[in-house]
Chains A and B, each alone.
Chain A
Amino acid sequence: MFAQLEPLLPQVSKPVQYVGGELNATSKDWEDTCVRWCLMYPDAYEVGLPNQGVMILYEILNEQQDVLAERTYAVWPDMEALMREHDVPQFTVDAHRPVGAFDLFGVSFSTELGYTNLLNALDLAKIPLHAVDRTDEHPIVVSGGHAAFNPEPISDFVDCAVLGDGEEAVLEITDIVRRWKNEGSPGGRREILLRLAETGGVYVPQLYDVEYLPDGRIQRVVPNSDRVPYRVFKRTTMDLDEWPYPKQPLVPLAESVHERMSVEIFRGCTRGCRFCQAGMITRPVRERSIEGIGAMVERGLAATGFEEVGLLSLSSADHSEIAEVTKGLADRYEGTNTGLSLPSTRVDAFNIDLANELSRNGRRSGLTFAPEGGSERLRRVINKMVSEEDLIRTVSAAFSNGWRQVKLYFMCGLPTETDDDVLQIAEMAKNVIRAGREASGRKDIRCTISIGGFVPKPHTPFQWAAQCDPDTVDSRLRKLREAVNSDRKLGRNIGMRYHDGKPSLIEGLLSRGDRRIGRVIERVWREGGRFDGWSEHFSYERWVSAAASELEPLGVDLDWFTTRERDENEVLPWDHLDSGLDKEWLWSDWQDALDEHEQDDCRWTPCFDCGVCPAMNTDIQVGPTGRKLLPISPVGKGSPVSNPAFSGG
């Protein structure tokens, strides 16, 4: 249907985002395939395209001969208006096919703020919004990503949710759908949903009933069919070297938010930061081997032509052989203008040798660290054990080695936080400037502090916590700004970036909400809510008024879902979804937080029984392997690729 779309393209902003044609995209004939997936990242193309999860599943599915996977992204409002005017449905960018024609529609949620975009895509695709209204003709809507660990707020709109790693799960779902289609689709839509649900690894919300107590809390969640289990477990992909995806990363024609090739160097994190949902739900740590990383980088650079390689994970400097990996790669690609970056590094795992390897063949970017909490006390509460001394020592070394800029990430609104905890962020930033000036002998040192609002997330020790109200967050940020500016000589070298606390409250509603939140999301979407992750599109007032209208008749409200602390015995909306974490351990870790007790990392100290490994039959996989990256010869001149057509010319 590109021909239908083409006349609209000259009338929209950035038309290139709708034309597809990415390098390494796959095209297949519809008729030659049996199971057809449409994958969506529910945000703008420029944000969604680089998403590793979608890219990995896209490639794994398309490697299957009889499976087709195409992609779609959220369209901007200017395009949406034209599509509605000219009756053009939500389309894939690969072969411009209508999304409604696929067997499965998989949507990956990194954040809950994409929910209204899901509704918009379903509506544009002419798929009934409510799962119960769909017929055999409509795709099965599957949600995944971190937000799928509590899919209850969107349970009206999705047919299934898959928790955890998708590599094997998509293939198993594909097998079940293939077999069912080959049998002639017996029993229709209900039968395929039952077959998926009875595996225990696919959650089908409509096969579970939620019962409530008179006070609004959940009494219990029970299956309404004897074919489905009481609990649904998360998926874990073991041995990352067996799954070297993406092998051929997509390279867009349009500019995207990450202009680099990414290699996931390990998955999972056991540092145990109590606010961090990713660190809790992706356990255990599974490292990719140094050779596996080297092979993926070599192949990926040849397939993409990117000038930067991002070594991704939740805390990249924690890889047991990070020094060997970075040195090995910097040696291999010397003289080819290929830079390396570690998107997330801890102060205590960082050193200058590492930083020098990263900038050897590319640009020297700024340094970024995330102390998260301003005071030592608060960092004990959240279990982010980096000391101010570590930070000052590290930045001093960096500044004396030529760096001029450091960026620090913090959160505001953390459990037990006081004004004083937040004001200490200013002191820390000032100490960084002082240390930088002393170490470098220069005045042009910059420190940027970036502050996000804390949102309590399911499957973390803070899942019981009261979320801080936006007024308190805003008032603390105001006081922090005054404290930064109070000393002009230091303050002018400190930048401060933050958002007000309102979007965080709505994210909190969507994160810890239950099935009653679906009607709020639907109303917000009907009233024009789209792209809620973008401040220019987000409307707090719209969410607050929709929550008031939809929740008050049910005897609950926005505050009840967000700023209310839960007690130990409350049934949480996601209790029947098994992340492997033992709820008793989570509770004891929450009590430890309140007592300001730290918890060590199980990679270096004995197991503390979080429950994941025995429950999921997994184990940590970490090095060191003791192996090294051998040089690859020859690399090209000015390019990481060597082409015989140009040798000895």
Chain B
Amino acid sequence: MQKLRIKYAKRGRLRFTSHRDVARTFERALRRAGVPMAYSQGFNPRPKVSWIGAAPTGTASEAEYVEVSVVDRVDAAALARELDTALPPGLDVIEAVEAAGGSLADRIDGCLWRIELPGVDPDELGRAVELLLAAPEVVVQKLTKDGRKDIDARAAIVSAEVVREVEVTTTRLGDGAEGTRRCGILSTVVRQTQPVVRPDDVLSALRVVADLQPPVPAKAIRMAQGRLDDGGALTDPFTNDREPTRATSGIPAVGE
């Protein structure tokens, strides 16, 4: 049995898929692509697919990770190509590697989010971020499966800064007219904690410290995941697997 690791993106309108939607779509794509999947034993055999921390419903991602096990050896580049063809547009394979051992989950303990806030002035956002970073603790309410829970969102935030590109294309509600609009964009590295701090929680924290209320729903994109080094940067989780041969699908990472 061979184990392969896949990095993929969730883009465009597919950001509205839930993790369960993505998992089902992936399993069907693996079957359509004819990947010789390994199955679990027992009463209800399932293909061996393991997921690592999926991006929440409503968020897009350029860096999602999954591991699959196959019964015949497959070429990682062929897997990346064939699977990408079988997946719907918007779920795009970025890279596949043969697992060189170790645990992929152990190589991911943080991620980088880009949060677009149309209608929020970048300077106002900057002031809110300063207040957030200066606070020793920011308690926000989170809806978990056990009900409402208070968590400290500040503890998970490694860094946060406002990106200095301030015009994005937006759509007016009602007539759908397009135009450009000043837009605050936040780039933030968040440490994996229990429970996990999501973009929504970061926005709640900004509301708590600076009463920041975006006029339209924010759009969050996960840009990278990996291991946080001492300087707060993320290390690519495939580094150990990729040597000596590199396998990519050759598909450029462009959104819809």
Contact residues of A with B, CB < 8 Å?
1-4, 6-7, 9-11, 15-16, 18-23, 86-87, 251, 253-255, 259, 301-307, 337, 363-364, 636-643, 645-646, 649
Contacts and interface: CB of A to CB of B under 8 A. Distances in A.
5 nearest A-B pairs in the assembled complex, by CB-CB distance: A643-B34, A305-B28, A3-B171, A638-B37, A4-B176
Contact of B73 (A15, A19, A649): A649
Contact of B32 (A22, A302, A337): A302
Chain B, interface size category, equals 35 or more
Contacts of B47: 337, 638
A10 B217 CA distance: 7
B27 A305 contact: yes
Contacts of A15: 16, 57-58
Given A4-B176, A16-B21, A645-B82, 6 more contacts: A253-B17, A253-B21, A304-B28, A305-B32, A305-B86, A639-B30
A638 B21 contact: no
5 contacts: A16-B18, A636-B36, A637-B37, A645-B34, A645-B75
B31 A646 contact: no
Interface stretch (B38-46, B149-157, B188-196): B38-46
Contacts of B74: 646, 649
Contacts of A18: 16
Contacts of B13: 2, 6, 19-21
Interface in B38-62: 38-39, 43-45, 47, 57-58
B82 A643 contact: yes
A8 to B, nearest CB: 8
Nearest to B178: A3
Contact of B72 (A11, A364, A646): A646
A305 B17 contact: no
Given A16-B21, A19-B16, A649-B72, A641 B217 contact: no
Contacts of A2: 13
B171 A16 contact: no
Contact of B39 (A4, A23, A638): A638
Nearest to B73: A649
A639 B78 contact: no
A16 B39 CA distance: 28
B64 to A, nearest CB: 15
A254 B32 contact: no
Given A21-B14, A87-B174, A645-B81, A639 B45 contact: no
A630 B216 CA distance: 59
Please indicate which of the listed interface residues A3, A16, A259 has the most CB atoms of chain B within 10 Å of its own CB.
Answer: A16
Given A254-B21, A646-B74, A637 B36 contact: yes
B33 A7 contact: no
B126 interface: no
Given A15-B16, A16-B17, A639-B34, A253 B58 contact: no
B135 interface: no
Contacts of B176: 1, 3-4
B72 A251 contact: no
A7 to B, nearest CB: 5
Contacts of A640: 31
Contacts of B16: 9, 15-16, 18-19
Contacts of B31: 301, 305-307, 639-641
A21 B81 contact: no
A144 B45 CA distance: 40
Contacts, number: 131
Given A3-B178, A7-B217, A363-B43, A303 B17 contact: no
A637 B71 contact: yes
Given A15-B57, A639-B37, A255 B20 contact: yes
B29 A305 contact: yes
B34 A646 contact: yes
A15 B217 CA distance: 14
A646 B88 contact: no
A251 B35 contact: no
A253 B14 contact: yes
Nearest to B22: A253
A487 B216 CA distance: 61
B28 A306 contact: yes
A253 B32 contact: no
A315 B170 CA distance: 53
B143 interface: no
A269 B21 CA distance: 37
Nearest to B20: A255
A251 B28 contact: yes
A290 to B, nearest CB: 24
Contacts of A646: 34-36, 72, 74, 78-79, 82
A362 to B, nearest CB: 9
A41 to B, nearest CB: 20
Contacts of B36: 636-639, 646
B32 A641 contact: yes
A304 B89 CA distance: 15
Nearest to A646: B74
A636 B39 CA distance: 13
Contact of A637 (B72, B78, B90, B174): B72
B25 interface: yes
Interface string B83-100: 000101110000000000
B173 interface: yes
Contacts of A301: 31
B24 interface: yes
A4 B174 contact: yes
Please indicate which of the listed interface residues B21, B34, B88, B176 has the most CB atoms of chain A within 10 Å of its own CB.
Answer: B34
Interface in B143-186: 171, 173-176, 178
B67 to A, nearest CB: 16
Given A307-B31, A646-B82, A19 B217 contact: no
Contacts of A86: 173-174
Given A4-B171, A363-B44, A643 B14 contact: no
Contacts of B14: 19, 21, 253
Please indicate which of the listed interface residues B16, B58, B75, B178 has the most CB atoms of chain A within 10 Å of its own CB.
Answer: B16
Nearest to A639: B31
Contacts of B86: 305
A259 B90 CA distance: 22
A638 B49 CA distance: 13
A636 to B, nearest CB: 5
A301 B25 CA distance: 14
A639 B27 CA distance: 10
Please indicate which of the listed interface residues B20, B36, B90 has the most CB atoms of chain A within 10 Å of its own CB.
Answer: B36
Nearest to B44: A363
Contacts of B18: 16
B178 A645 contact: no
Contacts of B78: 645-646, 649
Please indicate which of the listed interface residues B14, B30, B86, B173 has the most CB atoms of chain A within 10 Å of its own CB.
Answer: B173
